Structure 1
Amino acid sequence: MDDRDWLILKTLYEKKNITKTAQTLYTAQPTLTKRIQQMEREFNVTLVQRGTRGVQFTPEGEYLAKCADEMLDRLQQIKEHALNLNQEVMGTLRLGVSNYISKHKLPRLLKLFRERFPHVDFKVSTGWSRDVFQLVYNQDVHVGIVRGDYQWPDAKKLLFQEGICVASQNPIDLQDLPSHPRIEYEMDALMKSIIDNWWSRTFAHPPLIGMEVDKGDTCKEMVIHGLGYGILSSALIEHHPDLHRIEVTNDRGEPIVRDTWMFYHHTTLETKLVHEFVKFVESIDFTKDL
């Protein structure tokens, strides 16, 4: 079996459907069926049984499917190690990056890195910081960039800090905030906890939610057009000096800041590509260079 066979088993186990697996892997259904039959002949077992609800894995098939992740990871490690023997920095860098960073910081960061190392490719996974944390923890990616303070047991680097503020088109007195319409948006759990705790310490009444949107960028645009106020990271509105801001502070009157971290495992630095990327990111001033 080669890496394509293990990928077929892994995907089929997730999809439980031949047609969906073929679509995911961009292959013809007859070709996929033939590969499964070849695997069954190689191991002399029946891997799957077709039914009205898709395919069902036999005990033998389920065992091999569960081995697929391990085999694919091992193959990836072998490829990376082989590339690492070369003096040139090359290969595929696997990154996990929070949504905000992927949109506002990552494109230029990768552009600058590729200018230095032109033979590098990237595989980028994006999502909420908690999901990125799991990706790097499980070593599904080489490096993770997350916003917020997570209990990370291995190597890390603080990249930058940002404040949190109440943003509005026109000035608002802080004490009057509960009577003004707030634009709510989806955010990660740590950011929501910070905002909720600040609100409950500051006001005796819940916020007046005037609108719910999908993300912080959308909230910012609504604020710019005077449709309400938003509680946003300062980095998100740094290029909009015309917006009125009220800094969110703790009970000692100090600004509440949100950290952005780079997480990785020390062992991954043995790969030349990862070592060079970590060193490169550490040299970047995220408040000026990006």
Structure 2
Amino acid sequence: MQITELRILLVLAEEMNMRKASERLFVSQPALSQRLQSIEKTWGAKIFIRSQKGLTLTPAGEKIIDYAKEMVVKEEKVRENLSALEGEVSGTLRLAVASIIGQHWLPKVLKRYVQRYPQAKISLITGWSSEILKSLYEDNVHIGIVRGSLEWKGVKKHLLKDELYLVDTEIKSAEELMATERPFIQFRSDSTYYQEIQDWWHRKFQTSPKRTIVVDQIETCKQMAYNGIGYAILPSVALDDESKPIYKIPLSDPEGNPIARDTWMLGYEAAFQLKQVQAFLEVVEEWSNEEESEDRYG
């Protein structure tokens, strides 16, 4: 079976909807339906069952999709190795990135990367650090960018450190928290972020916030705080909108040192030998040096 047909199956399995899959593949639904029938005929098995709700994988279809994933990954790796031999930065750079980094830091770096290396492609997934580690262990990505302190036996490079701030449109100091009726807006996380905030709060106040709102995403949390709904504790990497009038109060530990979060780049040694990965690391280092110079000299 051709790689093109395997990629069609993967798009169908991702969307589980003929209309959405046809839009992604830039073909009409009848043409995609005919192509699928041809693929199923080649396999001698029904891969998807159609209904008004969409597509459902058959047991045979599940095995075929697993095979398709495996073959597409192998094909990409062969292409990467061929590109490395030719010396040109091309192939696919596969990244798995913590959501907050994907929203605020990564776009600026990737913009420079794609401008400099137009032949390279980007495959990007975002999520929690535990999901990123899973993608690395399964060898689905070249580089994982995670938050907090995590165990990793491969290559581990420090990317950035950002401090935590209490942010609000009204509260000007941490001491005002005990008297306010404004809610504390928190976002869910699977990292040590939540525990660090809890430790700081109980050290300072020995009690819980009076009112709490919990949201799924850090960006939702930020926008609610910026729009005056309540206060939040956010990392500086997310506070990149200087046009918004908001108070930012730094958090500190018992010794008076700023409480900060580390961000790391993880990967296996073999991945770091690929030209598209090396090119990305060069762009990251260049960007980091520029950021340090701006912080140092204003």
Cα gap change, 1:58/1:98 in structure 2, threshold over 3 Å: closer, same or farther? closer
* Alignment-derived partner of residue 151 in structure 1: 151
Aligned residues: 289
Higher deviation after alignment, 180-189 or 259-268: 180-189
2:55 and 2:103 map into 1 onto residues whose CA distance is 39
Unmatched segments (≥5 aa) in structure 2: none
1:79 and 1:68 map into 2 onto residues whose CA distance is 17
Higher deviation after alignment, 197-206 or 233-242: 233-242
Q: CA deviation at 1:274?
A: 1.2
Q: CA deviation at 1:33?
A: 3.2
Unmatched segments (≥5 aa) in structure 1: none
Q: CA deviation at 1:161?
A: 0.7
RMSD across aligned C-alpha pairs, in angstroms?
Answer: 3.4
* Alignment-derived partner of residue 258 in structure 2: 255
Q: CA deviation at 1:60?
A: 4.2
Counterparts of 1:65-214 in structure 2, within 5 Å, are 65-170=65-170, 172-180=172-180, 181-190=182-191, 191-209=193-211
Equivalent residue letter for 2:142 = H
Q: TM-score, normalised by structure 1?
A: 0.80
Equivalent residue letter for 1:272 = K
1:224-274 deviations in whole A, cap 9, x for unaligned? 565543211133336659754443233454332100111222111232111
Q: CA deviation at 1:70?
A: 0.4
Cα gap change, 1:215/1:272 in structure 2, threshold over 3 Å: closer, same or farther? same
1:143-170 deviations in whole A, cap 9, x for unaligned? 2222222222211211111111223345
Higher deviation after alignment, 212-221 or 153-162: 212-221
Q: CA deviation at 1:106?
A: 2.0
Q: CA deviation at 1:67?
A: 0.8
Secondary structure at the aligned position of 1:112 is classed as helix
Q: TM-score, normalised by structure 2?
A: 0.78
1:156-193 deviations in whole A, cap 9, x for unaligned? 21111111122334555534423321341424222222
Equivalent residue letter for 2:3 = D
Cα gap change, 1:252/1:18 in structure 2, threshold over 3 Å: closer, same or farther? same
Cα gap change, 1:55/1:87 in structure 2, threshold over 3 Å: closer, same or farther? closer
Equivalent residue letter for 2:75 = L
Which among 266, 274, 278 is matched to residue 277 of structure 2? 274
Cα gap change, 1:42/1:217 in structure 2, threshold over 3 Å: closer, same or farther? closer
